[in-house]
Amino acid sequence: MTRRAIVAANWKMNGDLTLVDTMVTGLKNMQLQKNVNVVICPSFILLSELSNKANKQKLNKAIHVGAQNVSEHKSGAYTGEVSTDMLNELSVKFAIIGHSERRSYYQETSRQIAYKVKAALDAGLTPILCIGESEVERATEQTETILSAQLQPVIDEVGIEKFIDVVIAYEPVWAIGTGKTASSEMAQETHQFIRQFLASANEEVADKVPLLYGGSVNASNCDELFAQPDIDGGLIGGASLNVEQFKQICLAAKGK
Ligand code: PEP
């Protein structure tokens, strides 16, 4: 079995033209391990600049541009939204979908997230589907129920076979931006549950889906996390804004 590793940067509502420039220059000669992809997801307005710079500077073909969200609609009267066609026009290859900040601040439901995953897949974009439990849900032993409830509507909408083109990011909400990382044992145990949940629908697909861990990953804890058998890389927030730190995280990733 070979499973690629992915390190994705989620800049959230941070970063500017200068960071795009620094990042592209900083990653230019990076020698990634075999079977590793890097994805940089800045805000929508920086996508064009990042795509152009990556192209001009002939960035490693394993480094891709990603969006932080995408509309489930094809086009039309949806003020403020960005469609899959618009992303494709800018050579964007990935889209983060269902980040916990979208679920909680913008009331995105698992059903709507399922439609977004479908729209992304239909347009040839790779969705990075985010799932994760809150601190209370973990404390009350509801983690597996919550993760299943976040995954099932997407499986129902797109079909398990299509998960071969989906990346899942497990991000415990209590670990995002808090400095509280899940222990590597806890992260592995949860990733193993996610893989088994997918395997109960299709074992072959489950073996191939990259499962990323997200939540306060940094250059000091990435080695231990990425060494776990079911952790295939990370979704990186804060640490992805620092080129040197992000580079170290990218270099720690290996395909399995
Ligand atoms: C995220 O926003 O997806 C994230 C994991 O953030 P941080 O790394 O800052 O916890």
Q: Quick: pLDDT tens for 65-74.
A: 999 999 999 9
The residue whose CA is least distant from atom 3 of ligand 1 is 237
> pTM to 2 decimals?
0.97
Catalytic: 73? Answer: no
Cβ-in-10-Å burial (0-12, 13-18, 19+) of 59 comes to buried
C-beta of 66 in contact with ligand 1 (< 6 A): no
| pLDDT, tens digit (0-9, with 9 covering 90-100), for 100-121 | 999 999 999 999 999 999 999 9
Separation between Cα atoms, residue 124 and residue 84, nearest integer Å: 9
27 by DSSP, 3-state: which?
A: helix
Q: Which of 72, 99, 101, 137 is catalytic?
A: 99
pLDDT at 256 over 90: no
| pLDDT, tens digit (0-9, with 9 covering 90-100), for 75-102 | 999 999 999 999 999 999 999 999 999 9
pLDDT at residue number 1:
62
Catalytic: 144? Answer: no
